[in-house]
């Protein structure tokens, strides 16, 4: 009973969407925290330009991103051709391509959240820790990050929700292979195209419930609403 339930196309699509969103969020956290910290603390020429460039995926049409990705990581793309030659890796039409698409689209959400969170951390606390003999990296891990984690996590949850909903760029680079790259949002599209309203209904309900849950969690973590809680 449970096994046949888990083999339903809808649940396979849900699991794939969760997997893609988890990996995309992890990647975004890694780069978003590092670059967010850089943008919040370091002064260097072109800082705001870098911020603008990194925020671009949030405002650009997903089709434009999808096309850029296709040109870059496609079999004849700059990076794609190199990966193929060197490692025999072909990213297009794999779930990893879906991760890259989702990570790029959702990246600004983590970056913006992290930058804002780091900017609110009192630098005097960091300086005090330095005076007490903690290494710069230790200060980051033990002082800065703990004070900024709410903002960082809030951004990460929004990025997770955005990754779950990614459609345009994903369809262009990962295609729509059932069980392999057909995420929830793409499964909804396919079901509607084929006139299968029953499965479309089930899929949109699952998507909505997951997204609402993530948004509630993100709201609870929004910084400064109730800092003592």
The binding site for other proteins (CB under 8 A) comprises 70, 74-76, 90, 92-93, 171, 175-177, 190, 192-196
Do residues 69 and 173 touch, judged by C-beta distance below 8 A?
yes
To the nearest whole angstrom, how small is the minimum distance from the Cβ of residue 124 to other proteins? 55
Alpha-carbon dihedral angle through residues 30, 33, 36, 40, given to the nearest 10 degrees: -150
Report how far residue 103's alpha carbon sits from residue 174's, in angstroms, rounded to the nearest whole number.
13
Report how far residue 22's alpha carbon sits from residue 29's, in angstroms, rounded to the nearest whole number.
10
Tally Cβ neighbours within 10 Å of residue 149: 16
To the nearest whole angstrom, how small is the minimum distance from the Cβ of residue 92 to other proteins? 5
* Nearer to other proteins among residue 81 and residue 145 (C-beta): 81
* Nearer to other proteins among residue 139 and residue 191 (C-beta): 191
Which residue in this structure is represented by tokens 């006139």?
195
Do residues 26 and 102 touch, judged by C-beta distance below 8 A?
no
To the nearest whole angstrom, how small is the minimum distance from the Cβ of residue 39 to other proteins? 36
To the nearest whole angstrom, how small is the minimum distance from the Cβ of residue 90 to other proteins? 8
* Nearer to other proteins among residue 55 and residue 196 (C-beta): 196
Say how many CA atoms lie within 13 Å of 46 toward its Cβ.
3
To the nearest whole angstrom, how small is the minimum distance from the Cβ of residue 174 to other proteins? 10
Distances (CA, A) of 11 to 1, 35, 120, 175: 14, 35, 41, 19
* Nearer to other proteins among residue 84 and residue 222 (C-beta): 84
Report how far residue 15's alpha carbon sits from residue 9's, in angstroms, rounded to the nearest whole number.
10
* Nearer to other proteins among residue 35 and residue 191 (C-beta): 191
* Nearer to other proteins among residue 71 and residue 125 (C-beta): 71
To the nearest whole angstrom, how small is the minimum distance from the Cβ of residue 80 to other proteins? 9
**Taking every pair of C-alpha atoms in the chain, what is the biggest distance, in angstroms?**
67
């Amino acid at each position: 009973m449970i096994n046949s339930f888990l083999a339903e196309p809808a649940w396979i699509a849900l699991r794939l969407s969760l997997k893609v969103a988890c990996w995309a969020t992890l990647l975004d956290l890694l780069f978003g925290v590092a670059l967010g910290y850089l943008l919040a603390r370091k002064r260097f020429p072109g800082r705001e330009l870098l911020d603008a460039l990194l925020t671009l995926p949030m405002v650009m049409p997903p089709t434009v991103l999808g096309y850029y990705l296709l040109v870059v990581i496609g079999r004849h793309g700059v990076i794609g051709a190199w990966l193929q030659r060197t490692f025999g890796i072909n990213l297009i039409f794999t779930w990893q391509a879906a991760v890259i698409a989702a990570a790029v689209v959702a990246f600004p959400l983590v970056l913006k959240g992290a930058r804002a969170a780091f900017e609110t951390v009192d630098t005097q606390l960091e300086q005090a820790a330095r005076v007490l003999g903690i290494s710069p990296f230790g200060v980051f891990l033990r002082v800065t990050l703990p004070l900024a984690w709410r903002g960082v996590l809030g951004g990460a949850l929004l990025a997770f929700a955005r990754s779950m909903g990614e459609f345009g760029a994903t369809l262009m680079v990962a295609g729509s292979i059932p069980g392999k790259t057909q995420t929830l949002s793409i499964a909804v599209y396919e079901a509607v195209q084929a006139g299968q309203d029953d499965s479309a209904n089930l899929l949109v309900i699952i998507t909505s419930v997951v997204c609402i849950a993530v948004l509630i969690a993100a709201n609870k973590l929004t910084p400064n609403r109730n800092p003592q809680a």
